[in-house]
Chain A
Amino acid sequence: MAAAALAKAVRLEDWSICVVHSAKKDRLAAFTAADATLPFPGSCHAALEFDEDRILRETGGAFTLGIALSGWSGPDLTYFHPFGETGAGLGPVAFHHLVMRLRSEGVPLRLANYSMAALAAQAGRFCRPGANPRSVLSTCRYGLHLDCGKTAVLLRTEVQGMGVLRLTSPMKRLELADDGMIAAIWTDSGERIAGDLFLDCSGTDAQLIGELENAGWQDWATWLPCDSFVTANVATEEAPPPYSVAAATRAGWIRHLPMQNTTRLTGIHSSSHYSAAEALDALKNAASNATLEEIETGSMRFGRRTKAWQRNCIALGPAAVVIDPIATSNLQLLRSGIDRLLKLLPAERSARVEAAEYNRLTAMEQDHARDFAILHYKLNRRQGEPLWDACRNMQVPETLEYKYRSYESRGRIAMYDEEPLEEVSWLNLFDEHGVRPRHYSPMADGFTAGELEDHCKRVRAIMIEELANVPPHGEYLSRLRGTHDEKDSE
C-alpha cells in the first residue's frame, strides 16, 4: 500500500522506489491476513484512493456496516456497533441527550434502532450512499472486509506497472551509516541497495526500525490481556452479511469476518486462560462445526513504537503498532500513517521537523485507538470469569479515565487532538455497555416527551422507508462483479 501511494504521490523522475521483501514470514501474518477497515475520517490524500470495486472484485472481499458484539455487554447479549451517524438532533440538542431524556421518562430506547447502518446491516442489505446529501442514506458510513494477502498481491501488480522496482532476493541485513541513519540494505544474493528513506513494513519483526538505537516499544499488555491467536477459514456459499461479528469467550473473543466465498475466523485469547486446545475448540464451536481450513496459531504483543519515524526509517503496519482488533483500527492506522507521511514527505535527508511532527501525531492517534480497545474490556459485563473480572477492575490510562468520567457525568465525549474514531463510536460503546450518565443536557427539557417520541418515530420511519431502496448485500456485490464482466465484453 505504501509503495502504491508513494508512486502516485511523488515525481518519479526525482524519486526511485524499491520494494524489498523479508526472508521470513511475519509471525503475525496469519493474524493480519484478513482485516476490516473503518470508514476513513475526513479526506485522505488523493494517492491513497484505491479502486474499491476492483479490489473487492479481484480479492473476494465484502462491505461492512459495523460490528455485532455478542457476549461483551452481558453473557447472552448482542449489540450492534454501526458505522456512521445515529439518530438526528433536534434544534441544538444532540440525539443522545434526547434519548437520555426519554429514558428518564421510562421510555426504553436503543441507539442502534436509529442508525441507518444498523438497520441495513440487520436486514442484510448494503449500498454505497449516493451523491445526495439529503438522503438519510448519507448518514451511513462503511468499511471493507479485505483478504490482505490477495490485496497486497493486487497492489503489487499495480505498482510494478508504475516503475517501482521489486527485488526478488529477500533482505539479509542492514547497513548503517556513521550518523546512525540507514545507508543501505543488503539482499541474500549480495546486492546492495542504497537509499535515503526506508519504510519498515516487515511486520512485528521490525527488521529495519528494530535495528536502530532507541527503537523503543510501548507494551500494552497491562490493559489488553490477549496474547495468542488461532485463525482459520470457513468456506461459505451464501452471500456474506454486511458486518463482522465479535463474540466474547471465556479467554478473549472470536472474530467472524465474512467475505464473498469465505468467512475468516480469528480467535484472540489470553494464553493464561485458554490452552491451545481450548482455543481451537472455541473456534470450532464458533464455526458451528463447519470445516476449518488453513488453521494457524501464533502469539502477539499489543503495543506501539515509541517513535514510528526514527532517523530515516518509518515503521508502518505492525512494525509500528498492533492493537487488539476489537478496535478495528489496524488497517486504519496503516492508511493514516501513509497519509501522514505523504503530507510530511522529507525535503532533506535529515527530516528532523517532519519526523517530529509525524511522531507527535502518530503517538496521539495510536494511543487514542488503544484507549478505544481498552474500553471494551474495561466496560465488559461478564461476571465470574477471571480474565473479564480482572479487566473490569483494571486501572486504565489517564486519557481514558477522563473520557469515562466525562461521559458518566453528563454524556459528554471528551475528544483530544488526533482522534482516529468519531464521537459517535465512543457514545455507542458507553451506551451499549450500560453506562448511564448522571445527567443529560437541560436543553433537552425544552421539548415535551411527546415531541421527542414523535421525532424518534419520524427518524426511524424515514430510515425504514429508505431501506426499501437498498439492495441485498449479495446482490450489490454481484452487480460489482457483473458490471465488470459487461465492460469486458464490450
Chain B
Amino acid sequence: MRVLIVGGGTAGWMTAAALSRLLPPRLVSVRLLESEEIGTVGVGEATVPHIRFFNAKLGLDEADFMARTRATFKLGIEFRNWSRVGDSYIHPFGAFGRELAGVRFHHHWVRARKTGLAGSIEAWSLPIIAARQGRFAHPADDPASPLSTYSYAYQFDAGLYAAFLRTYAEARGVARTEGKVVDVALNGESGFAETVTLESGERIAADLFIDCSGFRGLLIEQTLGAGYEDWTHWLPCDRAYAAPCDSAGTLTPYTRATAREAGWIWRIPLQHRVGNGHVYSSGFCSDDRALSALLEQLESPAHTEPRQLRFRAGKRRRQWSRNVVSIGLAAGFLEPLESTSIHLIQLAIGYLLELFPDPDFDPMNEAEFNRIMALEYERIRDFIILHYHATLRDDTAFWNYCRTMEIPDSLAYRMELFRERGVVAQYREGMFLDASWLAVFLGQNVIPHHYDPSSDRVDPASLATHLAGIGAEYAQAVGSMPQHEEFLREIGADHRTLGAQ
C-alpha cells in the first residue's frame, strides 16, 4: 500500500516516523510531500506526558531528544488571572493527596476547608510544590515513594522536533518530495483520492492519503468537503501573535498561561529561548492592541517580528473520509491552552495504526476512527471551555461573554455534578482524567457545596494528621530535588553538550 503524507511539520513527520517504525516496509511504502515555501505553524511547543510513550515506541533516547529539540521539563501549567485577577493555580501532572478510609482525598480537603483547617490544595501536590520552587527530578518507580506521585512532559521547539523526526523517518525509508499540490484527482466511481499533481507537473499516486496540510485541509476539506463543526461560539479566540525572546530568569519547569482582557498569553521556556504568544478574540480586541499587549510584557526584546496566526476553533465533521485521514490542524483546532495539539496528533496516529485500512478500505475503520476522535476532541473542548466559563471576572466584555455564555450540555452536566457534590463524571475515552478536571475546577474556584459524607467517618483529629502528614512528606521530598537547570545539565540533556560530541 502506498501512503502519501501531504504536509510536513510536526503532524507530517510524527506520522511518517511512526508509520516507518511500526508498519512492515514490504507492505507499506511511505512518502511525504512538503513545501519549504509553506510555513508550518509550530506553536505547539508544550506537551503532555503521553509524548514520552510516543518517543519510547520510536526508540528515542530522552537525553538525545531533549538536546536536539532544546527541551526543558514540564510539571504542569500555571494559570494566572483566570478566575480572578491576581489568582494563580497550577494544573499539575499528578493527583492530589492520598485516599483515606476509601474516600478520595479532595473530599477530605473540601471538608477541612469548610472548617478552616486547610488552605489551597496545592500543598498536597508534589509536582506543584516542585514547580513553584523551580525544581525537577525524574519520578521514582517505587509506588511507596512520594516521588512516584507525578509525571512529566516537555517544553520544546516543535520545528526542531519535526526536523529530528524527518531524519529518523528518512533513515527508515520514507521518501521526501519537495513541492506544492495544485490538483487532486478523484476516482470517478468511488470518489477516492487517486493522484496529486504538483506545481512542477509531477504526479504522485497513492492508496492512502494523510492530510497534514494544516488549516486549509487540502484533501479532507478542499477536495472531499468533509465539513467543519464550528465551536467559535464557545471558544471565541481566533487569532494569535507569537514571538520568541531571551529568558530573563531561571528556567521554570512549567508553562504559564496568563489571562488577559480578551484572551491569554503563553510563556514556554526552552533551553535557548522563551516562546511567547498572545491568543485573543478579534471580536473583542484589535490586532494592534493584542500585539502591543504581547510586546509590553515580554521579559526581553523579541528576537523577530511577531507572527500572526488566524484560526477557528472546531473540528472536521469527518476526520477520516474514504481514503483520506486528516491529522493535526487539518483535522481541527483547539487553542493550545492545555498543550493538546501534539497529543491530538499522537492520538490520531495511534488510532490510524490500530485501524490501519485494508486495501478495500472497509468503512468500519473510518467509522470507528471518527467515533473515537470525536469523543476525544469534544472532551478536550469541554475542558478548555471550563477555564473560560468558570470565571468570576467581569472586568471586560470578553470575560462577561465567557461567564454568561451557553455551554455544551456535556459540560453543563459535568459542572453541576462537581459543583453540587464534588464528583467528576466518568468517561472512557478522553485524555484528561479526574485529577486534571479537579485541578481546574478547584483552581477556578468551583468548590463543591457537598463533599462525600463518608469522609465524616474520619474524626477531625485523624483528618488533620492525615493532611499534615502528606503535606510534610511532599515538602520534604521536594527539598531533595535539584534545581531544574542543574538537572538538565546533569543528565546531559543540555543542547550545548551536543556540539562537544
Contact = CB atoms under 8 A, between A and B. Distances in A.
A343 B355 contact: no
Contacts of B456: 10-11, 14
A416 B428 contact: yes
Interface in B266-304: none
Interface in A328-381: 342-348, 352-354, 356-357, 360-361
Contact of B454 (A11, A348, A439, A445): A11
B354 A441 contact: yes
B452 interface: yes
Given A406-B364, A415-B428, A438-B358, A353 B24 contact: no
A443 interface: yes
Contacts of A342: 102, 454
Interface stretch (B43-51, B88-96, B197-205, B417-425): B417-425
B446 to A, nearest CB: 14
Q: How large is the interface on B (under 10, 10 to 19, 20 to 34, 35 or more residues)?
A: 35 or more
A446 B102 contact: no
Given A11-B453, A417-B427, A417-B428, A442 B23 contact: yes
A445 B27 contact: yes
A418 B454 contact: no
Interface in B359-387: 362, 364-365, 367-368, 371
B461 interface: no
A409 interface: yes
B425 A357 contact: yes
Contacts, number: 106
Interface in A401-415: 402, 405-406, 408-410, 412, 414-415
Contacts of A354: 421, 423
B426 A417 contact: yes
Nearest to A443: B22
A353 B417 contact: yes
B365 A348 contact: no
A10 B417 contact: no
A9 interface: yes
Interface in B436-486: 449-454, 456-457
A442 B24 contact: yes
A442 to B, nearest CB: 5
Given A343-B423, A443-B353, A414 B371 contact: yes
B355 A412 contact: yes
Nearest to B413: A356
A412 B1 CA distance: 21
A2 to B, nearest CB: 15
**Residue from B27, B28, B450 with most neighbouring chain A CB atoms (10 Å):** B450
Nearest to B359: A439
Contact of B354 (A11, A360, A402, A412): A412
B102 A442 contact: no
A109 interface: no
Contact of A347 (B27, B102, B362, B450): B450
A436 to B, nearest CB: 14
A414 B426 contact: no
Contacts of A356: 413, 417
B491 interface: no
A9 B362 CA distance: 50
A431 interface: no
Interface in B9-43: 22-24, 26-28
A96 B36 CA distance: 43
Interface string A393-436: 00000000010011011101011111100000000000000000
Nearest to B428: A417
A14 B367 CA distance: 51
Given A357-B423, A417-B426, A10 B24 contact: no
A410 B364 contact: yes
Contact of B368 (A46, A357, A412): A412
Contact of B428 (A347, A360, A409, A419): A419
Contact of B365 (A45, A409, A418): A409
Interface string A41-52: 000011100000
Given A14-B456, A439-B362, A442-B356, A92 B22 contact: yes
Contacts of B420: 347, 352-353
B57 interface: yes
A252 B210 CA distance: 50
Given A353-B420, A410-B362, A345 B453 contact: yes
Contact of A9 (B102, B355, B367): B102
Contact of A410 (B27, B365, B421, B453): B365
Given A9-B457, A406-B364, A46 B102 contact: yes
A46 B104 CA distance: 11
**Residue from A9, A342, A360 with most neighbouring chain B CB atoms (10 Å):** A9
Interface in B58-76: none
A441 B371 CA distance: 19
A348 B448 CA distance: 13
Contact of B358 (A360, A416, A439): A439
Nearest to A93: B22
Contact of A92 (B26, B57, B362, B450): B57
Contacts of B365: 409-410
Contacts of B421: 344, 347, 353-354
A441 B365 CA distance: 11
A384 to B, nearest CB: 32
A417 B416 CA distance: 20
Given A14-B453, A345-B453, A418-B428, A445 B24 contact: yes
B355 to A, nearest CB: 7
Contacts of B358: 410, 438-439
B454 A347 contact: no
B144 interface: no
Contacts of A345: 452-454
Contacts of B423: 343-344, 353-354, 357
Given A347-B421, A353-B416, A442 B28 contact: yes
Contacts of B355: 410, 412
A15 B26 CA distance: 68
Nearest to A415: B428
Nearest to B455: A11
A343 B417 contact: no
B299 to A, nearest CB: 43
Given A11-B454, A402-B367, 16 more contacts: A10-B453, A11-B456, A92-B353, A343-B452, A347-B453, A354-B421, A405-B364, A406-B364, A406-B367, A410-B365, A416-B428, A418-B426, A438-B358, A441-B354, A442-B23, A442-B356
Q: Top 7 A-B pairs ranked by shortest CB distance?
A: A347-B450, A46-B102, A409-B364, A439-B358, A11-B456, A446-B24, A11-B457
11 contacts: A11-B454, A46-B101, A92-B57, A352-B420, A354-B421, A354-B423, A410-B362, A416-B428, A417-B428, A439-B358, A441-B354
